[in-house]
Amino acid sequence: MIDKSLVLRLAEERIQELNRGLFIVDLTISTRNVINIELDREGGGVSIEDCISVSRNVEHNLDRESVDFELNVSSAGMDRPLRHEKQFIKNTGRLLTFLKTDGVQVEGVLKSFHPGGFVITVERKVKNEKNKNVIVEEELTLSSNEIKEIKRVISFK
């Protein structure tokens, strides 16, 4: 079995050398020694060169003679759930979908994040005094423990 702390150290070593704001979102190693590393970047997207560089540092420092492995290094991806604190900070001001543990889905703009929860602005339709639909903004606070998944809303408008 491949030592996860070794893989983490090797990946972090290269990330520090690159000094581009990269961070590890997820690192898993299966029982069949399939290593998956997901990267994101504080100031933008992850390039193919970033993935290649991290991959090479991990691969060249693991001994294939002692244990065979498969290595996948990729960007966290726009359609993937947000899981890391730095991703929440990066996406402040963006429209996100929050899937709550009770199955209710809430869409709103992330205003702020702290380890205990999120503050978002949601829009809802209400009737005004002339019985016409108007959109009002409302601020909601969501606790981290009531959130199952958070994703970016991808729009091509």
Q: DSSP label at 153?
A: P
- Percentages (nearest 5) of helix, strand, coil residues in the chain: 25, 45, 35
Sheet arrangement for strand 22-29: 22-29, 34-41, 70-75
Q: What type of residue sits at position 125?
A: K
Residue bearing tokens 């981290």: 144
CA–CA distance, 147 with 145 (Å, rounded to integer)? 6
d(CA 75, CA 92): 19
Domains of the chain listed by start with CATH number: 4-75 (3.30.300.20), 85-152 (2.30.30.100)
Average pLDDT over residues 13-27: 98
Q: What is the pLDDT of residue 90?
A: 94
Section 39-55 average pLDDT: 96
Q: Which residues pair with 125 in a beta bridge?
A: 135
Give pLDDT, residue 129: 84
What average pLDDT score do residues 93-97 get?
97
Dig out the tokens for 59 from the structure: 């691969």
Task: Answer for the pair 122, 104: CB distance below 8 angstroms, yes or no.
Answer: no
In whole angstroms, what is the distance from residue 142 CA to residue 117 CA? Answer: 5
Reported pTM: 0.86
Length of the chain, please?
Answer: 157
CB 80 within 8 A of CB 62: no
* Percent residues over pLDDT 70 in the chain: 100
Task: Give dist(CA 17, CA 85) in Å, integer.
Answer: 22
For residues 94 and 82, is the Cβ–Cβ distance under 8 A? no
